[in-house]
Amino acid sequence: MFEDSGGTAGLVSVPVPGRRAGRGTALVAAARAVHESVGRRNAVVRLPASPAGIRALADLLAEGIGVHAALVFSGGRCAEVLDAYVAGMERALAAGRPLGAAPLVVSFPVGRFDREVEARLDALGVPAGAEVRGAAGLAVARRMYRVREERLSGDWWRVLRANGALQPRLLWGPGAEGGVGALVGWNTALALSVETLEAAALAPALTGDTLLNADAEAACALRALERLGVSAPEVAAVLEAAELHRLRHGRPVRRGSVPAASPGSGSSSGPAAEQP
């Protein structure tokens, strides 16, 4: 699958030890060690997208090592990851390395974000049937999708693409509302539990891309939450801090899930990610 797809499918995500999550130099060294020990072209090293992780990400991509940027909780952090990807690809190009050898996957645990927001709405006494319920994670995912479109619209990206750079892949965990069908887009994937995958197979047929040109609706949903006192950037910061603490104390990022393809992804499109 990996060879037939030109390196865009069949990727396997291998985590760097969580105790290195906040240490820049040590994180790069640990990621190199993981990459060398696995020794497979379809392996990407999984790093938390903390500030230290993003700095390490650019260094690793410049060396030709593919990266899975995990625990991305906001459009702003996604933009930082994509900027680091372009910077790493620029350095790889200058060094004469093949750009297609270093893919990037960016994952957002939509359901984890939804649960945090829903708990805050419960505390505020927002009725269960309110329109804002179950909308937060999907809104952030739509914003990330738009951020990627913006970052890959420039002339310099076209130069990198012409020299073999792969389009960064976005990887979701399904959220509270809309399920699998609400998170379909080009060069994206879903990390699903077996139970969720089986339920999706019994649901109505998918209707195609549901992420493209949905940024305005996402912005409205996030503003509605803000008016109620729920700040998406604050939620993102709280979740990132909690997840980094969890990693540093030896708890795993994910428990079993399987990748499901979206349009443009081939028969499979990315490594498993954080459990939603």
Q: What is the mean pLDDT of residues 34-52?
A: 92
Percent of the chain surpassing pLDDT 70: 83
CB atoms within 10 A of CB 96: 6
pLDDT of residue 68: 96
pLDDT score for 204: 77
* Token pair in block for residue 79: 């933009």
Q: Calculate the alpha carbon distances from 141 to 46, 91, 108, 160, 231 in Å.
A: 20, 29, 7, 25, 15
Q: What is the pLDDT of residues 156-202, one digit of tens each?
A: 899 999 999 999 999 998 765 557 888 999 999 988 878 877 877 78
Of 40-44, 101-105, 113-117, 264-268, which gets the smallest average pLDDT?
A: 264-268
| H runs (alpha helix) in 103-151 | 110-124, 136-151
pLDDT of residue 143: 97
- Residue 189: helix, strand or coil by DSSP? strand
Residue 34 has pLDDT above 50, yes or no: yes
In the chain, the N- to C-terminal Cα span, in Å, equals: 26
pLDDT tier at 276 (50, 70, 90 boundaries)? very low
In this prediction, residue 82 has a pLDDT band, given cuts at 50, 70 and 90, of very high
pLDDT of 199: 79
Residue type, 59: D
**Sign (positive/negative) of CA torsion 200, 205, 207, 208?**
positive
Task: Measure the CA–CA gap between 166 and 152, rounded to whole angstroms.
Answer: 11
pLDDT category, 265, cuts 50, 70, 90?
very low
What pLDDT does 63 receive? 96
Spatial separation of the C-alpha atoms in residues 245 and 242, rounded to whole Å: 5
What is the reported pLDDT for 18? 67
State CA 61 to chain mean position distance.
16
Residue 246 — pLDDT band, cuts 50, 70, 90? confident
- Ordered by where they begin, the domains of the chain are 12-261 (3.20.20.70)
CA–CA dist 132, 159 (Å, integer): 41
